[in-house]
Chain A
Amino acid sequence: MKKKNLAALLMAGALCFGLLAGCSNGNNPGGSGGGAVTIKVGGIGPTTGDAAQYGTATEWGAEIAVEEINALNGPVKLDFKYEDDTGVADTAVSAYNSLKDWAKDAPLVIYGTTTTAPCVTVAAETYSDRYFQLTPSASSPEVVKDKDNVFQMCFTDPYLGTAGAEYLNSKGLGTKYAVIYNNGDAYSTGIAEAFIAKTKELGMELVATQTYPDDKTTDYTVQLNACKDAGADVVFLPIYYTPASLILAQAKQMSYAPLFIGGDGMDGMLDMEGFDKSLAEGLLLMTPFSAGAEDERTQSFVKKYQEAHGILPNQFAADGYDCMYAIYEACCELEGLADMDSAALCDALSAKFGGGQFKVDGLTGKGMTWKDTGEISKSPLIFKVENGAYVDAQ
């Protein structure tokens, strides 16, 4: 008798927690008797090497979400492991293989990779091996192309370029436009090409298109001189914040002060240790996330992240956080989850994400949905830097 009571109590408790966890459609997910189903989430991204700052951000952001999710005592628990790929494609495949070994027979979902080139390679593997894959930040259309199992949490590159050109045009900002981009990088090139195409379509005068070969480049005076000589009053920088901070510093040194506008890769610049924030004054950036946002969820995330790692989270961390909740909430809505292996889970999740009905509220957007191609639908926020902080410039 006593034993039964205890079991009933536990059941009731588990159900209560299940409700609290906010599994919206209330289906009893597969696991009978209230035992939570554990899904293994294998993350891949660079935690060493040149792109380490982005990989560690996606790792840490996801870790916070996993901790929160597991503390919910919901019907699904996530078992999280992160492997370093150093931002290199063949290392990413080794990392992927070691995650497969780690998961053995448990259902595995792949989270990553952080950067585009490794992600394209790993996506080809997960497509044929049938693992569901959600990347926080690999934004090239190549990543999801012709693969039903791969989804993105970030914008695709062309989308950001098009949005940038439309924004400048509709606000009447500038008369002569220039773009400086990293043509050794798929992210940067993707945005720049879409931007260039859109400026032509809208009849905007593009006076200079400048490139540099990799983010280790430190001298941009030649490119800036070309923009200055062409009389550009708006310079579009679809690049990451480290090279962008050098461009801003060097532009100031040569007394060139156009309007600079950048994409989500710019987010994080203000938090660089030792960065002179006055350099970024007036800078526009399109990003889905701002650590300064007032809402409670962002504030709590920022606080936890800062306590754990001593720095402010950037968009990579926020995308990583949202990935975990998207996986969790989708799993909660699946029927018969407990009996699924990785391949069945892959098919079920792909159908869920690609179905167009599944919505997630996250730090990087409200009511985010996915197209069946794997691309996400959410709109960027446009911020202006004023007095060293983001101000809404929508």
Chain B
Amino acid sequence: MSFLNNVITGISLGSIYAIIALGYTMVYGIAKMLNFAHGDVIMVGAYVCFFAMGSFNLPPVAGVLLAVVVCTVLGMVIERLAYKPLRAAPSLAVLITAIGVSYLLQNSAQILWGAATKTFRPIVEGSLTLVAGQLSISYVAILSVVCCVIVMVGLTLFTGQTKMGKAMRACSEDKGAAQLMGIDVNATISMTFAIGSVLAALAGVLMCSAYPVLSPTTGSMPGIRAFTAAVFGGIGSVPGALLGGILLGVIETFGKAYISTDLSDAVVFAVLIIVLLVRPAGLMGKYVPEKV
């Protein structure tokens, strides 16, 4: 029974990683940059929801919506102020800027809300017990998986069917050519950041509902994990992020349960290295040789 429990923990944790990884992957796919501030947008989303529910007594749904709105605006502002001026700069400059934004968000959060850890009230409480109490699945875990599936289907439809989605795919293939075809590349990139931030807000609320502690550095570790998941699945690939996220969650939980709690990170990264040795572009990524 503890095996099943571990599977469930792994999948629900993996779904949250997957939602975060989708944000990384989309931004990378279109803007070709690693947005290291993504993890901290998650933290901001969680704080907004925390205060909406705690201080203003709003219902959970309103809290989540508010978090989504604030994060979307924040994501677009960050893109406009920090990344857009560097569009033509070398990718390393953008990378360092992203790290800078990450610290800026963490330290601003600390000034605004203090360093003390806060306890997040889950947006749904309780759990489903099955098999005479042997197996318990929290509603948050179920919600995470459901959200992950909805987001995944929604994004696939969006990129496949809508005009904006098609513009995004065009930008990711070749920005120059897309611009020549009359696509507003800047607006498309802004849109990508907006979508990424919506996902970050959702992930923040779900993650803090599952593991209810909240501090200014809450987003950094899951951010790194999810980035790993994105690379694992193939960065730039939407289904890859989902697969990578879920696999990472399951491997992490199994590593802890059956190998060693101390070595679980080492196990995760060992698997990542092996996968990348066999498939350099990740599980579902397309390998495109660079022309020099």
Contact = CB atoms under 8 A, between A and B. Distances in A.
Interface of A: 47-50, 52-53, 55-56, 183, 210-213, 216, 218-219, 221-223, 225, 229, 241-242, 245-246, 249, 253-255, 271-276, 311
A222 B115 contact: no
Contacts of B2: 225, 229
Contacts of B116: 53, 271-273, 311
B265 A216 contact: no
The 3 A-B residue pairs with the shortest CB-CB distance in the complex, in nearest-first order: A52-B115, A218-B211, A274-B119
A218 B261 CA distance: 12
Given A212-B262, A219-B253, A273-B54, 7 more contacts: A50-B217, A55-B115, A225-B5, A241-B117, A242-B213, A255-B133, A272-B119
15 contacts: A52-B115, A52-B216, A53-B116, A213-B261, A213-B264, A216-B217, A216-B221, A221-B9, A222-B6, A225-B2, A253-B136, A272-B116, A273-B54, A274-B54, A274-B118
Contacts of B121: 274, 276
B213 A254 contact: no
A246 B138 contact: no
A172 B133 CA distance: 30
Contacts of A272: 116-119
B213 A253 contact: no
B214 to A, nearest CB: 8
A72 B220 CA distance: 45
A242 B117 contact: yes
Contacts of A213: 261-262, 264-265
A249 B127 CA distance: 12
Interface residues of B, number: 38
Interface string B1-13: 0100110010001
A115 to B, nearest CB: 13
Interface in B211-249: 211-213, 215-217, 220-221
Nearest to A56: B115
Contacts of B6: 221-222
Contacts of A211: 261-262
A210 B9 contact: no
Contacts of A255: 133, 136
Contacts of B213: 218, 242, 245-246
Contact of A219 (B9, B117, B119, B217): B9
Contacts of B9: 219, 221-222
A47 B115 contact: yes
B83 interface: no
A193 B170 CA distance: 59
Contacts of B114: 311
Nearest to B50: A274
A274 B120 contact: yes
Contacts of A183: 262
B107 interface: yes
A272 B264 CA distance: 29
B126 to A, nearest CB: 9
Contacts of A254: 5, 136
Contact of B13 (A219, A225, A245, A275): A219
A123 B67 CA distance: 45
A103 to B, nearest CB: 27
B253 A249 contact: no
Contact of A253 (B119, B127, B133): B127
B42 to A, nearest CB: 13
Given A255-B136, A274-B121, A222 B217 contact: no
A275 B119 contact: yes
Contacts of B13: 219
B110 A253 contact: no
Contacts of A56: 115
Contact of A212 (B115, B136, B253, B261): B261
Interface string B46-60: 000010001000000
Given A253-B138, A273-B54, A242 B215 contact: yes
B256 interface: yes
Contacts of B118: 272-274
Q: Which of B5, B9, B115, B221 has the most CB of A within 10 A?
A: B115
A52 B218 CA distance: 13
A224 B154 CA distance: 37
Contact of A222 (B50, B119, B257): B257
B217 A49 contact: yes
A253 B215 CA distance: 22
Nearest to A225: B2
Contact of A210 (B107, B120, B212, B261): B261
Contacts of A273: 54, 116, 118-119
Given A212-B261, A213-B265, A229-B2, A245 B119 contact: yes
Contacts of B212: 245-246, 249
A221 B213 CA distance: 15
Contacts of B115: 47-48, 52-53, 55-56
A249 B6 CA distance: 17
Contact of A276 (B107, B119, B215, B216): B119
Nearest to B127: A253
A196 to B, nearest CB: 16
Contacts of B117: 53, 241-242, 245, 272
A246 B211 contact: yes
Contacts of A47: 115
B16 to A, nearest CB: 10
A225 to B, nearest CB: 5
Nearest to A228: B2
A159 to B, nearest CB: 26
Contacts of A245: 117, 119, 212-213
Contacts of A49: 217
Contacts of A271: 116
A342 to B, nearest CB: 31
A387 to B, nearest CB: 18
